[in-house]
Structure 1
């Protein structure tokens, strides 16, 4: 509030006041969308009795960036100023300044502070969170809830939860190694036995007919667990049945044993595995390992 003073009488014949508000409606939104702002609405003097204002001598100006003039508008008897004629699309940011000539300063007291409020028509303001996901591979999702306080009461938003898909550095590293027992003693070819286990059996070991004993080792050398691991071995269904579906923790291995009665040699047998990273969201596609092959040889292998 500014006022003049007569140096002789001490009277204050001219009292001025004013306020300025810069409004950029787009600042109230953070989702990157469009169409949130429909129009400017009004400017409103609050906390002041308009009977104490010389409305005819007072005015409100609207300017754009760099004080570019937009409009000079009258103040209505209720202290409002219509801003709806100003295009929010053409002027995404405006500064509204009230220039008031007062009859007196009665409204300016230690407990009362007149103000200028500028409003627009648009969607409800938004609060956006930016969340940085931890690089720890065990993180499987993020959850955010917004809280705040306005003049009415504390506010709490709905809770938003999103799964985190493991990145390239947080994938299981699963490999499969299929081997055949090359021992003459079948007691060496069972679970946990010494074998020896090789990729190709000694030619003639099984004769023309015989039983091949297989060992399949599935290893996860990655930083996270593999879930729903399944063996694929179309030629030896017993190997698939022996493994079933299982989980494979990081830095662990599992071995499965199976056998096949062979009617024709040589016999080349290939196995692979498929899996998803542990805690993957529904719909995550399965990953397949590189196939691994072992061969049961007959005397014909010598020719190879």
Structure 2
């Protein structure tokens, strides 16, 4: 006999709310949440759709990865806004056969919420003919008036990015092409392939950068649709221009190896998306302190360009010459 919605929520989802005052163990129609003293809530939402944002083979393991990714991309948004994770709402559109893998989904979600220090406050579950769809609304807390925005970049600011760019895009390429996986394994080894796949399947939000962002960044966002398009969005919101030097782009060893042998064009890496790194503008006087604070938190920051008074996006290629991109990044409706 199929498990009812009420029984499923009580067995699987209610435990995810334990320890959150006002969630009422998911037994009511709504939650009652109050921000910590001196703080206000920052709210963000992302929807992940099977076949668009994640590949899904119907296994419990793949379901767990989808759960972790859905929560991670929302926490990445909060981190870029300088907000500490607090709670989240979950909406699930479940296709037939979900009973086989739903426990695995919840196991992945439990592990992710433990890692990110937030609890489930409520949500909704529905049945669908497909595809499997996960929507999360994440709630973070930031000192009142302290949310970081895209719109604060100023001419003369330095453009900086956390971590490495391009790995997640290449991980998606590998996930979709066994032929590419076989060829690339020769160049970068099993560890290189595994690392690229992991960056796409299970992104890591840069929560440890929050204190440094609050202290030094003038504008921030997380890189989700591609470095080029997201940088241009920051510039547009700030009423400025942005310059990116591809020779300065931080690349992982595997990524750099594939570029070096001509398997990957560096332009792909700034348009592929799914990086979930943080892009920040910072005043030149604060660059050293910003980098040092990130280093103390165990995170690399790299200067990749700057903010200019003249609006628009300008990219310098690895050869030092200006270049144009065929596409700036991912757009659901383009």
Shorter-chain TM-score: what band?
A: under 0.3
- Greater relative CO, 1 or 2 (CA 8 Å, sep 6+): 2
Structure with the higher fraction of residues in strand conformation: 1
Question: When you count helix as a share of all residues, which structure comes out higher?
Answer: 2
TM-score by length of 1: 0.18
Q: Which has the larger radius of gyration?
A: 1
TM value normalised by structure 2:
0.17
